[in-house]
Amino acid sequence: MKVIAFNGSPRKKWNTATLLNKALEGAAAQGAETELIHLYDLNFKGCVSCFSCKTRGGKSYGKCAVKDDLTTILAQVEEEAGAIILGSPIYLGTASGEMRSFMERLIFPYLTYTDPPQSLFPKKINTGFIYTMNVTEEQKELFGQHFIFNEMLMGLIFGSTETLFSFDTYQFEDYSKVVADRFDPEQKAQRRNDVFPKDCEKAFDMGTRLAKQ
């Protein structure tokens, strides 16, 4: 079983990447082969609305016809992955722009415009989504529809999905250097020490579950 994780944060060693690495550790503990792909390292765009993936009898029906750095990766997901994990910080209330662009290319080609919508993805795989954000669990309802909609899409296209949230994350190397009076640096540091390790454990457990066939 191969498990591929996608980092939708530009930061390769911060909250999102750390949780994705933990999830992959959990998957590796089950014997899975793992890979972490940083979306910000890739040259790609979101969907360009060419509809090749929806063209009746077309050679790209059910596949993304755009050729760029995502081309081989999307083929790898279809042909090799037994599970995928998407990880993203919340940027202005949704997953980051890179993650949104990636999701357009990953999901839309498989999503039919039938009633009800169906999936053209050729098999069932396990999927997970990890979100990290500044807001607290109580404030998450602000973005609630976004999470529910993504869960619905991932479940519909790939067969199953689960979601992990990491709230109130530690955002800056040094809080004294930024204008961010809204945050209490001590409270943030305490949460990073007390709660973030628990989020890491949850990510590890998620990886363990996703790596099971």
Ligand X SMILES: Cc1cc2nc3c(=O)[nH]c(=O)nc-3n(C[C@H](O)[C@H](O)[C@H](O)COP(=O)(O)O)c2cc1C
The answer to the question of residue 20 lying near ligand X (CB under 6 A) is: no
Match 């990890």 to its residue by tokens.
130
What part of residues 56-115 is at the interface with ligand X (CB under 6 A)? 89-93
Q: How far apart are CA 145 and CA 102, in angstroms?
A: 19
For ligand X, the closer of residues 58 and 197 by Cβ is: 197
Q: Taking the complex as a whole, how short is the minimal distance between the CB of residue 154 and ligand X, in angstroms?
A: 20
The answer to the question of residue 16 lying near ligand X (CB under 6 A) is: yes
For ligand X, the closer of residues 14 and 61 by Cβ is: 14
Q: Taking the complex as a whole, how short is the minimal distance between the CB of residue 140 and ligand X, in angstroms?
A: 8
The answer to the question of residue 14 lying near ligand X (CB under 6 A) is: yes
- Three-class secondary structure assignment of the chain: CEEEEEECCCCCCCHHHHHHHHHHHHHHHCCCEEEEEEHHHCCCCCCCCCCHHHCCCCCCCCCCCCCCCHHHHHHHHHHCEEEEEEEEEEECCEECHHHHHHHHHHHHHHECCCCCCCECCCCCEEEEEEEECCCCHHHHHHHHHHHHHHHHHHHHHHEEEEEEEECCCCCCCCHHHCCCCCCCHHHHHHHHHHCHHHHHHHHHHHHHHHCCC
For ligand X, the closer of residues 9 and 119 by Cβ is: 9
For ligand X, the closer of residues 92 and 179 by Cβ is: 92
- Among 101, 126, 127, 132, contact with ligand X (rule: CB under 6 A): 132
For ligand X, the closer of residues 17 and 83 by Cβ is: 17
Q: Taking the complex as a whole, how short is the minimal distance between the CB of residue 57 and ligand X, in angstroms?
A: 42
The answer to the question of residue 179 lying near ligand X (CB under 6 A) is: no
The answer to the question of residue 15 lying near ligand X (CB under 6 A) is: yes
Q: How far apart are CA 78 and CA 86, in angstroms?
A: 15
The answer to the question of residue 11 lying near ligand X (CB under 6 A) is: yes
- Among 20, 169, 199, 206, contact with ligand X (rule: CB under 6 A): 169
- Among 37, 74, 135, 195, contact with ligand X (rule: CB under 6 A): 135
